[in-house]
Amino acid sequence: MPYLFTSESVSEGHPDKVADQISDALIDQFLAFDPDSKVACETLVTTGQVILAGEVKSKAYLDVQKIARDVINRIGYTKGDYMFDGNSCGVLSAIHEQSPDINQGVERQEKQEQGAGDQGMMFGYATVETDNYMPLALDIAHALLIELAAIRREGTEIKYLRPDAKSQVTLEYDDNNQPQRIDAIVISTQHDDFDEDEAMLAKIREDIIGILIPRVKARYEKYAHFFNNEIKYHINPTGKFVIGGPHGDTGLTGRKIIVDTYGGKGAHGGGAFSGKDPSKVDRSAAYATRHIAKNLVAAGVCSEVLVQVSYAIGVAQPMGIYVNTYGTGKVGLHDGEIAQKVEQIFDMRPYAIETRFKLRNPIYSETAAYGHFGKPSQTVTKTFVSPEGREVKAEVELFTWEKLDYVDQVKQAFGL
């Protein structure tokens, strides 16, 4: 029987995402000047105020106020009318030194024996639904807001947009778990004040359907026919949305973990990513399991897969690896047998993960909005300046866990 499945996304101007981006900007700055930094940094944003808290062990000294302000201005909160802007908001830092009790469980004389920074379980997922092996509903939800932000920055076609926005996409699937159509799209976007509310709502609806949707449709050649006149649109369904961002709703690091991952597909271990250095397996092992899942699907082992890994704090070897192919396996093996082969192919010790994906580089700001997965790996040059004026230029590879660099090894192991 056909069924509906929904995923949501939020824009870079959503208050929780503002917090994530500040936390990850701090991570990048610490790693740029001291790659061995241990950081767990949380951010709270509200009307006119940013509060930073967390634990750090690092040789680097940062101007955390400037970092936070730069992020806020880059997002687009640059006007007093927003009741939150990068030039005038207060920034309070309550960052302190990392507990030595935690650190002793992580660091080892032999780096290969580095222990996990915490206990817990992490999940990775991949599917053939899209070219980037992401769930289609989430991929479209992200695309809607990426294009909306691009339109806002261009400032030519839609001039009244403000940074805060949310999207939601509902797909219909058939009995074979294949997407058949878009049932509904929800867009809520912050906007400048209008003289008349009814005219405002009509104008926003017209622009979203007439300008935004065609730009998103152009991204999906395979699914272009899904973008038809049968879609149910809910555009700013509550009406006026002038008050938004951190003034409209307090934002906290780590509150959008489903948006960050797979939009509710697969599973989630519960640990957030942003603000954590790669010794925290909440982040690094989630990246590693995504890499496993994507390479398994790309190699043809299955059409859809969920991979779980779990750890004990201070212990290098994972407690175990679990694989669920949802009955889509193509290699004549049970999921438990596939998991055994995965353990032989992929070294899941924390230090091996850090080195395999080059995670001690300043690569995290780009992950903090529109998802940590499904983006292409690319090499960029980034420049960082310390409070004393020291400049560091770093050539770094982004989204290394999205590479299909283990496909040949997987095929060989499974006889494909």
Known binding positions for K(+): 42
- Binding-site residue numbers for L-methionine are 55, 98, 249, 280
Furthest-apart CA atoms within the chain: distance in Å: 68
DSSP 8-state class, residue 313: B
H helix and E strand count, the chain = 12, 13
3-class state of residue 186 by DSSP: strand
Nearest to 209 by CA among 184, 189, 235: 235
Asked whether the beta carbons of 207 and 194 are under 8 A apart, the reply is no
Q: Which residues contact 206 (CB under 8 A, 6 or more apart)?
A: none
Q: What secondary structure does DSSP assign to 352-383, as a single string?
A: HHHHHTTTTSS--GGGSSS-SSSPPPEEEEEE
- Binding-site residue numbers are 14, 16, 42, 55, 98, 164-166, 240-241, 249, 255-256, 272, 276, 280
3-class state of residue 65 by DSSP: helix
- Binding-site residue numbers for ATP are 14, 164-166, 240-241, 249, 255-256, 272, 276
What does the alpha-carbon distance between residue 10 and residue 21 come to, in Å, rounded to a whole number? Answer: 13
Q: Which residues contact 87 (CB under 8 A, 6 or more apart)?
A: 69, 73, 78
DSSP 8-state class, residue 315: -
- Binding-site residue numbers for Mg(2+) are 16
